[in-house]
Structure 1
Amino acid sequence: MELVFVVLIGAVAAVLANLNIAVFNDGLRPIVGEHIEGRLKRRELGLTAFAMSFGLVIGFGIPFTITASIILIHSILLGTDIIGLIAPKNKWGTPVAAVVGGLYGWGLLAGLEGFVALFEKLPVNFLEPMGAVGTPVVVTFMAFPALAVAMQFSVKKGVLTFIVAALVRQLAVFVNESGFISIGGNVISLNQEGMALIAGMIFLFGYAMREKSEDGASVDLASIFSEKVKSIKKNVAFFMVIGALIAGATNLLLMAGDPISLSLLAEGKQTDAGIAAAARAIGFIPLVASTAIATGVYSPVGFTLIFVVGLFSPNVWIAVVVGAIVIFLEVMLLGSIAKFLDKYPGVRNSGENIRSAMTRLIEVALLIGGANASNAIAPGFGFFFIAGFYLLNEIAGRPIVRMAVGPVGAIAVGIIANILVALGIMTIG
C-alpha cells in the first residue's frame, strides 16, 4: 500500500505539472503562468524549473527525508515539478511524465530503505546524529509570526509579538508542569511551541486585518482573474485525487509537509505535528491563494490542510476521503477567499512576509541544527567544518542555498568522518 501511494503521488503530480495545472514550488507558479500566456517557451520553462528546484531537492528535501526516514514532501513534489515541466506537453510527453514521476516516487521510497541499511554497515553510522539537524527548527519556528509582523508593520510591534509569544510558551510550560489541565483524571499537556505559535498568529492577523489600502479602494481580485479561477475549478477532480493520496500517505506516516511536523513525527509526536501543520497551513493561505488566483496555477497540496487531515484522521481510508473533500472545498472557495483578501489588503500582503519570515528562521535553525549534528558525528571537527562551509558558500555567492548549508554540511561531515576512520586518521569514541 505504501508503495502504491508514493508511486501514484509521483505520477499524478508530474502530470499536473506537465499540463500546467499545478506546481509545488511557489516561485514557479508565476513563471508557469507566463508560459501559459505565451511569453515563455517550454524549453526555458523546463530549465527554469530545474534551476529553481533541483538544489532544493538535493540540499533540502532529500537530507530531511534521510534523517527522519519519512519523506519530506518537497523531495518528491519539487522533483515532479522538474519532470513534468521538462517533458513536452503533448500526447507522448504527458504519459512519459507520469511514468517517470511514478518511478521517481518509487526510487525515493526504495532508496530510503536502502540508505538505512547502508548506514548500519558504515564505520560511523551518522543517521541518528543527523536527527539533530531538525531539532532547533521546531523550537525557533514559533518566532516566525513576530518576524513577519516586524517585516510588515514595525520592529516595535514585532518585538511586542515576540515577547507575548515567549510568555505564552513559558505559561504553557508552567501549566504542564503543574498539571492544571486534566480530563478524566488524565493530565493534558499543552504543546508549548504550538501555543506560542497560535499567540503570534493572532497578533499577525490582528495587525493585518487593521491595515487598509492607502487610497481606501479595493482591488477585485476575483473579477480581474475570474478566468484563471475558473480554470483551476475546472481541474478540481485532479486536485481531489492527489489530495486524497497525500492525505492517505501522511496518515500512514510516509510523508510530512514541512520540516517542523517531520521532526515531530520522527520523535513520535503525531498530535504536535498536526498542530504545527495546521498553523503552517493557516499562515500559507494568503500566499497560495494569491498566486493561484493571479496565475491560474494551483498547488498540488493546496493550502497544505491535507497534511493536517492525514495526521488527525483515525485511519488511512478516512484520511483519503476527507483529504479529497478538503481540497475540493479549497478550490471551490477560491473566489470567496479572493474577496476576503480584497477586503483586508493587509492579510493579502502578509503572504510574502510570512514566507520570507519562515525562510529566514528555517535558514538559521537548520544552520544551528547542522552544526550540532556535525559536532555529534565528529566532535570539534564538525563545528569547524560547518563554520568554514557556511562562510565559503557566502563568499562564493551562495551556490548552495542558505537553507541547505546545515543539512548538506552535516551529511558531508558524516562522509568525511567515515573516510578518515577507514584510513585510521580519526577515531570516534
Structure 2
Amino acid sequence: MMETIFVVLIGAVAAVLANRNIAVFNDGLRPIVSEHIEGRLKRRELGLTAFAMSFGLVIGFGIPFTLSASIILIHSILLGTDIIGLIIPKKKWGSIAAALVGGLYGWALISGLEGFVKLFDHLPVNFLEPMGEVGTPVVVTFMAFPALAVAMQFTIKKGILTFAVAAIVRQLAVFVNDKGFLHIGDNVISLNQEGVALIVGMIFLFTFAMREKTEEGSTVDLASIFSDKVKSIKKNVFFFMIIGGLIAGATNLLLMAGDPISLSLLADGKQADAGIAAAARAIGFIPLVASTAIATGVYSPVGFTLIFVVGLFVPNVWLAVIIGALVIFAEVMLLSFIARFLDNYPGVRNSGENIRNAMTKLLEVALLIGGANASNMIAPGFGFFFVAGFYLLNEVAGRPIVRMAVGPVGAILVGIIANILVAMGLMTIPQ
C-alpha cells in the first residue's frame, strides 16, 4: 500500500509541475516550455511536441527497462507525466485534472507491473528473466563514458589516455580483489572495479575541463542575465522539495531507479554499487541541468538527480524523504552560485552536453549488445538474427525508434514471437 501511494503521489505532483510550466523531466522540452511561457508557442503545439518527444521514449525505453528488472525506471513515469501535464490545458481546473490523471497513470504503472510479472509465469516461454540481460553490458561499459566525453571535447589523444588509465586501474582493482590485499581485521574488502575506473575517468574529465580557460571578453554572467528565471525557480522550491522527498523515498524502497545503470545493479542486488553509479551520473549532469534551468526558468522534477543517491545510501525511508527534500532545496538555492562557477570554468559548462552525448552513445551500443544477448537467450540463433535485422531496418527507415531503444524493444518482440512460434508448434521451448 505504501509503495503504491509513493508512486501515485509522484505521478500526481510531477504532472502538476509540468501543467504549471514549473518543471519537466525531458531535457529537450525545457527550452520549448520556455518558448510557451514567453508567448511564442501555443499550448496545443506544446502538448503535441511533448507527446512527439517523449511517447516513444516511454514505450521504447522506460517500459522495457521497467519490465526487465521489475523496478520502475524513472523515465517511465516522468516522461509520461510530462505529456499529461503539458497536454492538459493550463486553466483553473488544469492542475486538478493533471494531478488526477498523473496519479492514475502512476497507479496503472505500478499495478500493471505486478500484473505483467504474474502474466509471464503463464507464458510458454517466460522471457522476463532473460530480459535482465539487456542491462548487463551497460554496467560494465559505463566506466568508458568519461573517456568518450574527453575525446569529444578535448581531442582523441586525451580520450585514449583517459580510457587506457581507467582500464589499467580497473584491472589493478581486479588484481587487488583476487589477492585479498585490502581488509579490515578478518574481513576482506572488495573494490568495485567498474566504480574505481569510473572515478578515475571523471577525475581526468574534470581536470581537463577546469584547465580550459575563458577567452578574453567571452565570459557570460549567466546568473545576472537570467536572474528572473532563477527567481521563478526558487519561488517554486516547495514543490521541488515535495517531489524530491517522494522520489528519494521511493528509491529507498527500491521501487525505482534514475538510470539504466543503477537499475541493472539494483536488479542484481548491488545497492551500494548502484549508489556510486547514480552519484557519478549526477555529478556529470549538474552542468547540463543547471544551464538549461538557468536559461529557461524551467527545472527538472529530479533536480540534479542527487535524490537518487540519497535514496540508495540512506538507511531509512522516512529519513530519505527528509534528506531528499533538503538536498533538492539546496540545489535550487545554489543555482546562482553554480551559474557563476560555470562562468569561471567554461570547460566544465561545456562538458555537460558532451557528457550527455557520451552517455547516449555508450548506451546505444551497450543496450544493442544487451538486447541481442537477451534475444538469443529467449530464442537461440533467431534472437541475434532478429535484433540485427531490426536495427538495420530501423536505420534505413530513418530511425523511427531511437537507437537506444532498439535493443530492449527487439528483445521484447523476440519474446512475443517466441511464444507465438511455440504455440504454433514451430519452435521448442528453450531449456
TM-score normalised to structure 1 length: 0.99
Give the Å deviation of 1:246. Answer: 0.2
Partner of residue 213, structure 1: 214
User: Structure 1: any 5+ residue segments left out of the alignment?
Assistant: none
Residue by residue over 1:92-144, the C-alpha shift from the partner in whole angstroms, topping out at 9 and shown as x without a partner, is 12111100000000001000000000000000000000000000001111100
Partners of 2:313 and 2:262 in 1: CA distance? 12
Could you tell me which runs of 5 or more consecutive residues in structure 2 were left unpaired when the two chains were aligned. Answer: none
**Residue of structure 1 in register with 2:167 after alignment:** 166
- The structural deviation recorded for 1:215 is 2.7
Matched, 1:334 2:335: yes
Q: Match for residue 413 of structure 1? A: 414
Check if 1:181 corresponds to 2:182: yes
Please tell me the residue identity of whatever aligns with 1:46.
G
Taking the aligned partners of 2:158 and 2:217, their CA distance within structure 1 comes to 23
Q: Secondary structure at the match of 2:128?
A: coil
Identity over aligned pairs, percent = 85
Shift of 1:362: 0.2
Contact 2:212 2:345 in 1 (8 A): yes
Asked if 1 retains the 8 angstrom alpha-carbon contact of 2:124 and 2:429, the reply is no
* Aligned 1:381-396 pairs, distance under 5 A: 381-396=382-397
TM-score of the superposed pair, with normalisation by structure 2? 0.99
Q: Could you list the per-position Cα deviations for residues 333-389 of structure 1 after superposition, in whole angstroms to 9, with x for gaps in the alignment?
A: 000000000000000001100000000000000000000000000000000000000
Partner of 1:92: 93
> In 2, Cα distance between the equivalents of 1:76 and 1:140?
26
Report matched runs for 1:19-30 at 5 Å: 19-30=20-31
One-letter amino acid matched to 1:405: V
Distance in 1 between residues matched to 2:201 and 2:363, nearest whole Å: 17
Partner of 2:39: 38
Match of 2:245 in 1: 244
208-217 vs 116-125, which deviates more?
208-217
Matches within 5 A, 1:189-268: 189-215=190-216, 217-268=218-269
Aligned partners of 2:184, 2:60: CA distance in 1, in Å? 44
Matched AA of 2:310: V
Within 5 Å, which residues of 2 pair with 1:362-381? 362-381=363-382
8 Å contact kept, 2:12–2:103: yes
Corresponding residue number in structure 2 for 1:7: 8
Cα offset, 1:206, TM superposition: 0.4
The letter of the residue matching 2:392 is L
Shift, 1:216, TM fit: 5.1
Residue type at the aligned position of 1:387: A
* Residue aligning to 1:144: 145
Paired residue type of 2:17: L
Instruction: For 1:71 and 1:217, locate their aligned partners in 2 and report how far apart those are by CA, in whole Å.
Output: 43
What is residue 101 of structure 1 aligned with on the other side? 102
Amino acid paired to 2:346: P
Report the secondary structure of 2:273's partner residue.
helix
> Residue in 2 aligned with 1:50?
51
In the alignment of these two chains, the number of paired residues is 429
Amino acid of the structure 2 residue aligned with 1:11:
A
The answer to whether the 8 Å contact 2:289/2:300 transfers is yes
**Partner residue in 2 for 1:112:** 113
Partner Cα separation in structure 1 for residue 293 and residue 179 of structure 2 = 46
Question: Does structure 1 conserve the Cα–Cα contact (< 8 Å) formed by 2:343 and 2:349?
Answer: yes
Give the AA of the match of 1:235.
N
- The residue type equivalent to 1:220 in the other structure is D
CA distance in 1, matches of 2:210, 2:231: 27
Partners of 1:393 and 1:213 lie apart in 2 by: 42
User: Shift in Å at residue 213 of structure 1?
Assistant: 2.6
- Aligned residue for 2:285? 284
Please give the alpha-carbon distance, in whole angstroms, between the structure 1 residues aligned to 2:184 and 2:34: 51
C-alpha distance in 2 between matches for 1:91 and 1:183 = 61
Does residue 128 of the first structure (1) align with residue 129 of the second (2)? yes
Give the 3-state SS of the residue equivalent to 1:134 in structure 2: helix
Runs of 4+ in structure 1 off by over 6 angstroms are: none
Report the Cα distance in structure 1 between the residues aligned to 2:96 and 2:370, rounded to whole angstroms.
Answer: 41
- Residue 118 of structure 1 aligns to a residue in which SS? helix
Alignment of 1:354-365 (within 5 A): 354-365=355-366
Q: Displacement, 1:181? A: 1.4
Counterpart Cα distance in 2 of 1:427 and 1:38: 60
3-state secondary structure, aligned to 2:190: coil
